[in-house]
Structure 1
Amino acid sequence: MKAKILREKYPKFVYNSFDFKLKKEGLEICFDFKIEPDIQFSPKVLIGGINEKEVKRVGERVLKNLIFNLGMIEALSYWKATCSPKIEILAGDLNKEQIRWWRNLIFKGMGQFFFENKINFLERNFLKIESFGEKFERFEGKLNENKILVPVGGGKDSIVTIEYLKKMKKDLILFCLNPNENQKKIIKISEIKNKVFVKREIDKKLLELNQMGFLNGHTPFTAY
């Protein structure tokens, strides 16, 4: 479908809310997105290994802030289906500076998507972002500079990074999103015990829209 038609038919994308709960496997997060008037999404993310002690350590309001922002980047995968001219944020609060930051991420991080779908994102009033939600707390504690989270993508860059940091005697935690066999092999060979596996579950409705000809393409997912 043409972007212009979809933008007219679906004028607003809404990030309604998020919810989370501790399970045996870790922290399960569910987001509530809607493309008005009638398309609903409920994607899920499971962060493995999170327990009640760790939630208490950062505090619930700080955790909510982290989850809220995770939902912001998750939302782009669903917003892009219609490229609605307005994004309304009800799940949390964004100030003017933060709204500018997210607009900048969208415009500079989704260039391939705009190009492939012949979308002129430079046109006036292309995208308006409004926020009406609750304000959460930022993490203000000190980080352990010797402890490093290393994303494992499954290629040689991950291996080189891990081995380099091991030689520097750093305390490593390996991070994988929807780990495949290559990633698991790298982790096993590294002999590093601390790891965080994240399972991201895409709402099937988005896949159905893709099959129906709604917009699809690259999003700045490394911002995850």
Structure 2
Amino acid sequence: MTQNTCFIFKSCQFSPQDHRVTLDYGYLGGTSFTETLIFPGARRDFSDIEKQALDKLLHALHLAAGISYYKAFCPSEIRVDNQTLSPEDAAFFTKFYLHGLGEFAVENNLDLRETIQFPLNRAQRSIASPVELKESAVVPIGGGKDSLVSLEIMKHGQRAYRPIAINAGRPILEVIDSADAPAPILIKRHLDPALFTLNDQGAYNGHVPITGILSFIMAFASLLYGYDTVVMSNEQSANEGNMVRDGLDINHQYSKSLAFEQDFNRYVTGHVLAGFRYFSLLRPLSETGIAVLFARAPRYFPTFKSCNRNFHIAEGERRYGWCCDCPKCRFVYLALAPFIGKAGMSAIFGQDMLDDPAQEDGYRELLGLKGHKPFECVGEIGECRRLLKSLALIPEWRTCYLIDKLSRDIPEPGQPLDDLRQAALRKYPDHNLPADYERLLDDFIGS
């Protein structure tokens, strides 16, 4: 389709009076799109230097959010009509699109290495705005266990914060309510329906680096709501990829990885907004370590939800609860089982997933015994193996069908429960935590 051979970043606007951002895109001679974001309760009045900072943030957000529309046809020509890109801009977004669409490329049998290239329009370096941000923190809430652990760490350390969420549905609102948290910031993002029409007509579709897109939204919102720090809840396990293809490490969790966190920090603070802070409070821990800490907070057991069917982009296809038939459900069940116990897990999930023969192939993928690591936000293969072998040492779990069967195929040893818990809470050294937040984490682990 010749009209889809060039993707265009057309324009972007922010209207303070109605708290609205519009992002315009299109294909040359083809479909046009307008994405809308609403920031309820945001500020309306800004100084001249703040307006300049908002403009830089808005243009960065425009480039990041465009990935949802670019993927419909993935043309080799990218045109940016409303700004000129520095070498830093072009390099960052070329990498963001290439790695962020890694899983998408695998699933659609595409090689995008020579395709994605943002145009370099000017030689001079882009300079970050020096606007002074209010010293305050937000914690993004996704409805699952990880962000709730971050909330508990902030509360334990008596650190002021506000929850923040984009397109918060029932699970997110319920966990915020159960956390007895301050009033949340609730942002609305509306994708253009024309994108779904193209998908129905056969355009490419698949995974995008949603955490990366949301990170740019929260950077833009920092001036609107008055905060300088975004406390993420991504863990060490997110760094492990799913496979290598065409020389690229394909990682479903690319925009949750330390590599993205470091790139995002360097780009935003160096070229967009100097005083902005962005880091993951849980980066020093594995998924298993987070499971240990989450098991200390039973008040969240009835409300937290990690199954992605709760968060389907199409509201009509969302399903509340745990489907008990996807990689996310399987992994969360495995990670929490040693620390919550069989009765508690059955109360949360409604069944014993580790005693269900129908789950065998799915667990074999998690354990590295079949195929590749699932394209989902799940733990490392090594820690999944350690968890299952450790469950085989616990009397109430060892007779479960899948534990009894699959443990025979795993040569690595398990650990007694106390040893597993202690090992899981040892911190990894690679992280971006400021010293004061690392102390918060240490105090909570030791509490």
The TM-score with structure 1 as length reference comes to: 0.85
Q: 1:56 offset after TM fit, Å?
A: 3.5
* Counterpart pick for 2:105 among 107, 114, 118: 114
The one-letter amino acid paired with 2:89 is: Q
Deviation of 1:9 (Å): 4.9
Quick check: 2:87–2:120 contact (8 Å CA) kept in 1? no
Structure 2: runs of 5 or more not aligned: 215-447
Q: 2:94 aligned to 91, 103, 108, which one?
A: 103
Counterparts in 2 of 1:52 and 1:148: CA distance versus 1, 3 Å = same
Question: What is aligned with 1:207?
Answer: 196
Q: Which residue is 1:197 aligned to? A: 186
Aligned residue identity for 1:31: L
Q: Which of 126, 137, 143 is 1:154 aligned to?
A: 143
Structure 1 gaps of 5+ residues are: 1-5
Q: What is aligned with 1:30?
A: 22
Give the whole-Å Cα distance in 2 for the aligned partners of 1:210 and 1:112: 17
Aligned-residue offset at 1:92: 2.4
| Shift in Å, 1:80 | 0.4
Offset at 1:144?
5.3
The structure with the greater share of residues assigned to helix is: 2
Q: Which runs of 4+ in 1 moved over 3 A?
A: 55-58, 135-139, 141-145
Give 3-state SS (helix, strand or coil) of 1:15's partner: strand
What whole-Å deviation, never above 9, does each CA across 1:50-103 have from its counterpart, x for those lacking one? Answer: 1224x3486111111111111111100000001011111122232112211111
Alpha carbon RMSD of aligned pairs, Å? 2.2
Instruction: Give, as a single letter, the amino acid of the residue that structure 1 aligns with 2:26.
Output: K
CA distance in 2, matches of 1:210, 1:22: 33
Q: Distance in 2 between matches of 1:139 and 1:120?
A: 36
Q: After the TM superposition, which residues 1-224 of structure 1 pair with which residues of structure 2 at under 5 Å, given as runs?
A: 9-23=3-17, 27-53=19-45, 55-56=46-47, 59-122=50-113, 124=114, 126-130=115-119, 138-143=128-133, 147-223=136-212, 224=214
Q: CA separation in 2, counterparts of 1:103 and 1:207?
A: 24
Percent of aligned pairs with the same residue? 23
Give the drift of 1:162.
0.3
Instruction: Compare 36-45 and 187-196 and name the one that shifted more.
Output: 187-196
- Residues 75-84 or 100-109, more deviating: 100-109
Query: Could you say which residue in structure 1 is the equivalent of 2:241?
Result: none
Task: Determine helix, strand or coil for the equivalent of 1:50.
Answer: coil
Q: Counterpart of 1:159 in 2: which secondary structure? A: helix
C-alpha separation in 2, matches of 1:161 and 1:63: 28
Q: Using a 3 Å threshold, how does the CA distance of structure 1 residues 155 and 212 change in structure 2: closer, same or farther?
A: same
Indicate the SS of the match to 1:42.
strand
Distance 1:15 1:132 in 2: 14
Cα distance change, pair 56–137 in 1 and its aligned pair in 2 (3 A):
farther
**For the Cα contact (< 8 Å) 1:90–1:132, is it kept in 2?**
no
TM-score normalised to structure 2 length? 0.44
Distance 1:168 1:93, change over 3 A: farther
Task: Give the structure, 1 or 2, with the largest relative contact order (CA under 8 Å, sep 6 or more).
Answer: 1
